[in-house]
């Protein structure tokens, strides 16, 4: 890239998660015996950047402007300055180079992009590439730092862990609930802690594994982690790998991935070169099916990108126009939109159930929210039909609705008031099913089993159930009552009566594991089956806040496949004959909706 570049052609690097091109740029400058000065952009940094560029133009040094998405106005200034200098090239030193690093930003000046050399520095893919990058950038002095027999295996284990935590990101929510920017600074901090810890050990004294695990999982890497279940995963990796077993000859992270302990860097590089280029998902603690999830996510992203750059104008060729297609779909949907709930009828029915009953209060809140969605859908579809006919003006919201309905996506105005879904078809089906559940509950009878996916606030549903159980028992206090559950052997169709206490919940799926119906416990996923439907679950409350049985796997329940704090509902406890750590590494969770 340096050979291709010219003084007035900036080199723009797009930052990818988990990689930073700065060390590579500085190393290249050192190798070519150039001075490289950097400024990190942000508020008030333009003054320093101007001075540095002026100095670079005079003296021929390399200038590195970092995080330029935080100084977009200054990017326009650079573009104009370079355009002027093109007229007087004699004012520019021939060894001057301008390096820019930025995150992808929609408002970055396009002209500057067009006049630049663009590159991106992605993190290495796979264990082999990750270890190769780590050991290639390591110095021999770093490897020779300690004579302790524990030192080299520990450094290799942290390097392997570093690669695994980065690689798990590509598997989406199965890998990490939130994709974190783990980078080489975390690896270096962990290695330096290991050096200090080994220095502090007396002769014959063993490693304090509790300390090492805590520093790696809760401080060095854990400092970036914000999700409780991701913290649990990181802690499990350290608990499984950072043990005395590490120093035995037959220790393996996974079949074929043992410990390397050599004295010289070239020996490591030679051995790493022999490793497989593509790793099975089990290397990262995941099931074989995780690879299907990864491939599907990549394909979906590609198709979404292709769809987003399609022309939005009406086609002049034959066939149905965009407007005609949307008009037909909107008309069909409008015919299926259910009528509004009659407030007086609803009030009458709720009074019959007992207006102060906690479950009835929950139902009233859900119906109020559903009413707003029904009214919004009806008004949007009516306005869209009128706008396509030319009776009213097509505003921004209607234009967005037209584009999204044509692309089989959910209009933004609906998403803001309702729930997310991958396609309009799935969303509209769920819309009708939700309405059906509320209508049946309100105007016929309380369901024997509840479809938890159909609630706006499933946490509120479980809290209402806890209140109901607490009130039924004299002397119980709500803050001393905890949720518990049993997975039954029944399907939804087999439920003919409500449970004596608590609620039955149906329509949930296991992600990352399968379900053994005969023995009612977790088992490995069936090959090529990504989600396993769970039988009806009996959720109830117990008058105890004592910790649950450690042999049970604490499985988080999420509303959608996107696992964040916003979609988290509650943990449920599932029986297993394997150690629960196995399922933590598998990333097992219960999803209410898999679309």
Q: Is residue 387 located within the same domain as residue 508?
A: no
- 301, part of any domain: no
User: In this predicted model, what pLDDT tens digit does every residue of 477-492 receive, in sequence order?
Assistant: 988 999 999 999 999 9
Q: Is residue 559 located within the same domain as residue 438?
A: no
* Mean pLDDT confidence for 372-383: 95
pLDDT at 505: 95
For residues 421 and 320, the model is more confident at 421
- At 331, list the tokens: 């008309």
- 89, part of any domain: yes
Q: How many helices (H) and strands (E) does the chain have?
A: 20, 18
Q: Domain range for residue 166?
A: 127-290
- Written in H, E and C, the secondary structure of 193-258 is HHHHHHHHCCCCCCCCHHHHHHHHHHHHCHHHCCCHHHHHHHHHHHHHHCCHHHHCCCCEEECCEE
Cα-based distances in Å from 38 to 63, 73, 232, 483: 6, 19, 38, 55
- Of the candidates 300, 364, 255, 237, the one whose C-alpha atom is nearest the C-alpha of residue 562 is 300
pLDDT at 429: 94
Instruction: Put residue 528 in one of left, alpha, beta given phi > 0 → left and psi -120 to 50 → alpha.
Output: left
What total number of domains does the chain contain? 4
pLDDT at 466: 94
* Mean pLDDT confidence for 117-128: 82
DSSP state of 340: P
CATH number at residue 252: 1.10.8.720
Q: Are 281 and 290 in contact (CB under 8 A)?
A: yes
pLDDT at 442: 92
- 587, part of any domain: yes
Q: Is residue 433 located within the same domain as residue 488?
A: no
Q: Are 328 and 405 in contact (CB under 8 A)?
A: no
Overall pTM surpassing 0.85 (yes/no): no
- 304, part of any domain: no
Q: Are 160 and 131 in contact (CB under 8 A)?
A: yes
CATH number at residue 577: 3.10.490.20
- 5, part of any domain: no
CATH number at residue 109: 3.40.50.300
Beta bridge partners of 13: 101, 119
- 2, part of any domain: no
Last residue of some domain: 252, 272, 290?
A: 290
- Of the candidates 411, 127, 138, 133, the one whose C-alpha atom is nearest the C-alpha of residue 282 is 127
- Written in H, E and C, the secondary structure of 526-567 is CCCCCEEECCCEEEEEECCCCCCCCCCEEEEEECCCCCCCCC
- Of the candidates 207, 268, 300, 594, the one whose C-alpha atom is nearest the C-alpha of residue 420 is 594
Q: Is residue 114 located within the same domain as residue 151?
A: no
CATH number at residue 339: 1.20.1270
Say whether pLDDT at 281 is over 80. Answer: yes
* Mean pLDDT confidence for 223-242: 94
3-state secondary structure of 99: strand
- At 69, list the tokens: 């998405």
Q: Which residues lie below 8 Å from residue 521, measured CB to CB, with a gap of 6+?
A: 515, 574, 575, 576, 577
- 21, part of any domain: yes
- 451, part of any domain: no
Q: Is residue 467 located within the same domain as residue 434?
A: no
Q: Is residue 141 located within the same domain as residue 187?
A: yes
Report the distance separating Cα 264 and Cα 138, nearest Å: 11
**Residue 18 confidence class, pLDDT cut points 50, 70, 90:** low
Q: Is residue 278 located within the same domain as residue 353?
A: no
Last residue of some domain: 446, 466, 488?
A: 446
Q: Is residue 48 located within the same domain as residue 72?
A: yes
Say whether pLDDT at 32 is over 80. Answer: yes
Q: Is residue 376 located within the same domain as residue 258?
A: no
Q: Is residue 466 located within the same domain as residue 434?
A: no
Q: Is residue 333 located within the same domain as residue 239?
A: no
Last residue of some domain: 268, 290, 312?
A: 290
Q: Is residue 413 located within the same domain as residue 328?
A: yes
User: In this predicted model, what pLDDT tens digit does every residue of 585-595 receive, in sequence order?
Assistant: 999 999 999 87
Report residue 62: phi and psi, to 5°.
-85, 135
Mean pLDDT, the chain, as a whole number?
Answer: 90
């Amino acid at each position: 890239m340096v050979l291709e570049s010219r003084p007035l052609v900036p080199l723009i690097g797009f930052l990818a998660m988990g990689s930073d091109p700065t060390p590579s740029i500085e190393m290249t400058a050192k190798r070519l015996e150039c001075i490289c000065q950097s400024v990190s952009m942000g508020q008030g940094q333009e003054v320093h950047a101007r001075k540095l560029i002026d100095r670079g133009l005079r003296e021929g040094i390399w200038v590195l402007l970092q995080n330029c998405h935080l100084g977009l106005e200054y990017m326009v200034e650079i573009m104009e300055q370079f355009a002027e200098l093109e007229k007087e090239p004699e004012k520019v030193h021939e060894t001057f180079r301008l390096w820019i690093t930025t995150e992808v930003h929609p408002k970055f000046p396009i002209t500057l992009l067009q006049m630049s050399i663009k590159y991106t520095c992605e993190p290495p893919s796979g264990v082999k590439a990750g270890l190769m990058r780590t050991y290639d950038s390591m110095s021999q002095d770093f490897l020779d730092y300690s004579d302790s027999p524990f030192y080299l295996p520990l450094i290799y284990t942290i390097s392997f862990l570093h690669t695994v935590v980065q690689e798990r990101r590509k598997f989406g929510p199965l890998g990490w609930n939130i994709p974190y920017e783990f980078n080489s600074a975390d690896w270096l901090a962990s290695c330096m802690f290991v050096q200090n810890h080994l220095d502090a050990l007396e002769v014959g004294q063993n490693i304090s594994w509790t300390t090492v695990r805590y520093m790696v999982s809760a401080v060095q890497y854990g400092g970036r982690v914000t999700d409780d279940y991701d913290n649990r995963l990181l802690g499990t990796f350290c608990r499984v790998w950072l043990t005395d077993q590490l120093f035995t000859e037959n220790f393996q992270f996974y079949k074929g991935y043992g410990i390397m302990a050599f004295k010289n860097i070239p020996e490591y590089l030679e051995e790493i070169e022999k490793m497989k280029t593509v790793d099975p998902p089990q290397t990262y603690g995941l099931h074989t099916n995780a690879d299907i999830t990864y491939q599907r996510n990549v394909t979906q992203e590609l198709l979404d990108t292709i769809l987003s750059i399609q022309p939005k104008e009406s086609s002049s060729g034959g066939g149905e126009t965009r407007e005609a297609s949307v008009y037909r779909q909107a008309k069909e949907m409008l015919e299926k939109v259910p009528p509004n709930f009659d407030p007086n009828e609803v009030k009458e029915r709720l009074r019959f159930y007992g207006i102060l009953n906690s479950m009835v209060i929950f139902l009233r809140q859900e119906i109020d929210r559903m009413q707003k969605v029904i009214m919004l859908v009806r008004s949007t579809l009516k306005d869209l039909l009128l706008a396509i006919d030319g009776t009213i003006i097509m505003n921004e919201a209607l234009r967005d609705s037209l584009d999204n309905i044509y692309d089989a996506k959910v209009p933004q105005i609906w998403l803001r008031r309702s729930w997310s879904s991958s396609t309009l078809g799935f969303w509209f089906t769920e819309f009708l099913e939700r309405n059906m559940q509320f209508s049946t509950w309100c105007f016929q009878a309380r369901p024997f089993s509840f479809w938890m996916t159909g609630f706006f606030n499933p946490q509120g549903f479980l809290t209402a159930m806890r209140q109901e159980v607490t009130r039924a028992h004299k002397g119980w206090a709500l803050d001393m009552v905890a949720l518990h559950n049993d997975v039954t052997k029944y399907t939804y169709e087999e439920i003919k009566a409500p449970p004596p206490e608590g609620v039955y919940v149906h329509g949930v799926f296991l992600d990352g594991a399968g379900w053994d119906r005969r023995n009612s416990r977790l088992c490995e996923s069936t090959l090529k089956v990504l989600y396993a439907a769970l039988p009806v679950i009996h959720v109830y409350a117990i008058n105890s806040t004592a910790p649950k049985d450690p042999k049970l796997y604490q499985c988080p329940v999420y509303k959608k496949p996107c696992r964040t704090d916003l979609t988290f509902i509650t943990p449920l406890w599932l029986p297993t004959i394997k150690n629960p750590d196995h399922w933590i590494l598998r990333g097992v969770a219960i999803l209410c909706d898999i679309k």
